[in-house]
Structure 1
Amino acid sequence: MTTTFVLAGGCFWCLDAAYRQLRGVVEVVSCYTGGSTAHPDYEQVCTGTTGHAEAVAVTFDDTVIPAEVILDAFFTMHDPTQLNRQGNDVGTQYRSAMFPRDDEQRGLFEAARERAAETWAERGPVVTTIEPLGEVTPAEDYHQDFFAKNPTQGYCLAVAVPKVNKVRAAFAEYLR
Structure 2
Amino acid sequence: MSNYKKAYIAGGCFWGMEDLFRTQKGIKDTEVGYIGGQNDNPTYKNHPGHAEGIELTYDENETSFKHILDYFFRIHNPTTVNRQGNDIGSSYRSAIFFQNEEEKNVAEAMIKLVNDSNKWEGTVVTTLEPYSKFWPAEPEHQDYLVRKPDGYTCHFERFSDSFI
TM-score by length of 1: 0.85
Residue number in structure 1 paired with 2:125? 127
For residues 79 and 71 of structure 2, what CA distance do their matches in structure 1 show?
15
- Aligned-partner SS, 2:25: coil
Q: 1:1-150 alignment to 2 at 5 Å?
A: 1-45=3-47, 50-120=48-118, 122-150=120-148
For residues 20 and 78 of structure 2, what CA distance do their matches in structure 1 show?
16
Residue-pair matches, total: 160
Whichever residue aligns with residue 17 of structure 1, its letter is D
Higher helix share: 1
Contact 1:81 1:120 in 2 (8 A): no
- Greater alpha carbon shift after TM alignment, 12-21 vs 60-69: 60-69
Relative to structure 1, the CA distance from residue 167 to residue 96 in structure 2 (aligned partners, 3 Å threshold; closer, same or farther) is same
Q: Cα offset for 1:69?
A: 1.3
Higher strand share: 2
- Aligned-partner SS, 1:5: strand
The root-mean-square deviation of aligned C-alpha atoms, in Å, is: 1.7
Contact 2:32 2:141 in 1 (8 A): yes
- Aligned-partner SS, 2:9: strand
What stretches of structure 1 of length at least 5 have no aligned partner?
Answer: 172-176
Q: Cα offset for 1:9?
A: 0.3
For residues 170 and 73 of structure 1, what CA distance do their matches in structure 2 show?
10
Residue number in structure 2 paired with 1:174? none
What stretches of structure 2 of length at least 5 have no aligned partner?
Answer: none
Whichever residue aligns with residue 24 of structure 1, its letter is G
Q: Cα offset for 1:104?
A: 1.4
